[in-house]
Amino acid sequence: MAYESLREWIKALDKAGELKRVTAEVSPILEMAEIADRASKSGKGTAKAGGPALLFENITGYPGAKVLMNQFGSTRRMQMALEVDSLDDVAKRIDVLIHPVAPVGMFDKLKMLPMLAEVGGYFPKTIAAKNASCKEVILRGDDVDVLKFPVLQTWPEDGGRYITLPCVTTRDPKSGKRNLGMYRMQVYDGQSTGMHWQRQKVAAEHARDRMRAAADDAAGQVEVMAMTAGGTAAAGSHSMPQHVVTKIRGERMEVAVVIGTDPATTFSAIVPAPPEVEEYIIAGFLRQKAVELVKCETVDLDVPAHAEIVLEGYVELGELRTEGPFGDHTGFYTMQDEYPVFHITCITHRKDPIYAATVVGKPPMEDTWMIKAVERVFLPLMKLTIPEIIDINLPAEGVAHNLMIVSIRKSYAGHARKVMHAIWGLGQAMFTKCIVVVDEDCDVQDVSEVMLRAGNNIDPERDIQFTLGPVDTLDHASRLPNFGSKMGIDATRKWPAEGFTRQWPSMLTMSKDVKAKMDAVWKKLGIE
């Protein structure tokens, strides 16, 4: 059964022994983050790696408030969140959907009906406001104050408090489709926050589309496009010229921010889904039940009906404000930059709302397990475009975009380089700074084995590919913001067709007969 809300999820965590209630008084300024960081790094190399989920119940300055952290911070909890025994089980369900067996006769067609009915049940449905838990308290006007909630500061040099686990809803101005993304939000005051949607994110594109539409003539549209192409306005590094701002100022883009949903919905906000697919449908697929939505009070958007907290408001096009620094998942601070401002017009929430948060920093942390889930769940979609891929690994230290290890079924000369470029052309994978490609008989999840292959199989001058292209906004080492170099390493066996004329040696392996014989007597030897 799908979890209807964050509260049902917390009950499940508690019942499974995965939740630790923190009753000692703790401050949301740095202290809670330090506890969560220590918990997430505990148990390394054991079945308890990642520590427990944490429910803080005694928060300095916020009597009666509760904060949930590290809810996704282990393999077991990610499996519980998606209600599977293995994350590969979700991948298998996706594989069945994208590779259906063509029906031969009427009987085969009838067998497909239940699957089609199941898919139809993934689409979100809207319910009446009176049945929506998130509408138990509605705040407008002077009552709007996001600092009534225990918003965290997670690192000493952060620019302030940040909402770190928000599900941000926007709407495509052209198609009308909803998008659910996760972008950190620096709290400036009770009614306004930053909106850190990087220029390559879908919500930033929505903002740019609104800007272009708001420009009152063709020349104005060209100016807006030229400015936003450099990274400004929606996720920029420079202020827009006043004459461009004048053309679009006063126009608003509606935004709704949800804090504290059922786990599948929160997870769907981080998945690298195609813009054409609404994240609420992905959430429905993951939880195998439609997400119930409700209309907002002051904006024309829909939000999860049983969320803990909903912030409604708008971004004024062209308005930018300094955001940062922020201690990020790279293990370094993201420095100050100019980003849009989110103005809050209404807050709705459940009675005694539970605030959901996370802390990011040097891995392993909670997001490490979320990234690993993305890796496993969406491998079939990568294979759909690049079928020669056998497996991928996004090591924790690679912080999602710095390193991807890929095994392939090599079929021709230059195949590894073809795969590198295909990955760099695949959605958010375009940000991958380093790609290591190995043969199909290499277990990419065994980093020691990968290092052995890479160290032995490459001639650096011949097998390392450099290219230029878009890089993650958080990459502080790139030559320019959002643009830099990337590297691919071909660690596959080299073929004569690739100019390798020497004999390629075999890897060491014991004969099967000897291994089987030793397996049979191993315990008797008393070696371990």
DSSP annotation string for 316-333? EEEEEEEE--EE-TTSSE
Of residues 104, 122, 97, 90, the one with CA closest to residue 384: 97
Residue type, 198: Q
For residue 452, the tally of other CB atoms under 10 A from its CB is 14
Q: Is 429 helix (H, G, I), strand (E, B) or coil?
A: helix
Cα 305 to chain centroid distance, Å, stands at 22
Separation CA 150–CA 192 (nearest Å): 16
Find the helix or strand (DSSP H, E) in which 36 lies: helix 31-40
328 catalytic? Reply is yes
Separation CA 343–CA 192 (nearest Å): 5
Find the helix or strand (DSSP H, E) in which 119 lies: helix 106-120
Q: Does residue 312 contact residue 296 with C-beta atoms inside 8 Å?
A: yes
Separation CA 72–CA 151 (nearest Å): 19
DSSP annotation string for 174-197? TT--EEEE---EEEEETTEEE---
Separation CA 95–CA 384 (nearest Å): 9
Give the phi and the psi of residue 495 in degrees, each rounded to 5: -105, 160
Q: Which of 328, 367, 391, 490 is catalytic?
A: 328
Query: What radius of gyration, in Å, describes the C-alpha atoms of the chain?
Result: 25
Find the helix or strand (DSSP H, E) in which 108 lies: helix 106-120
Q: 402 vs 112, 394, 398, 431, CA distance in Å?
A: 41, 9, 5, 8
DSSP annotation string for 81-107? HTT-SSHHHHHHHHHHHHSPPPP-SHH
Tokens of 315: 């971004």
Q: Is 489 helix (H, G, I), strand (E, B) or coil?
A: strand
Separation CA 101–CA 103 (nearest Å): 6
Separation CA 471–CA 474 (nearest Å): 8
Q: 403 vs 235, 489, 493, CA distance in Å?
A: 24, 11, 21
For residue 527, the tally of other CB atoms under 10 A from its CB is 6
Indicate which residues carry an active-site annotation.
Answer: 328
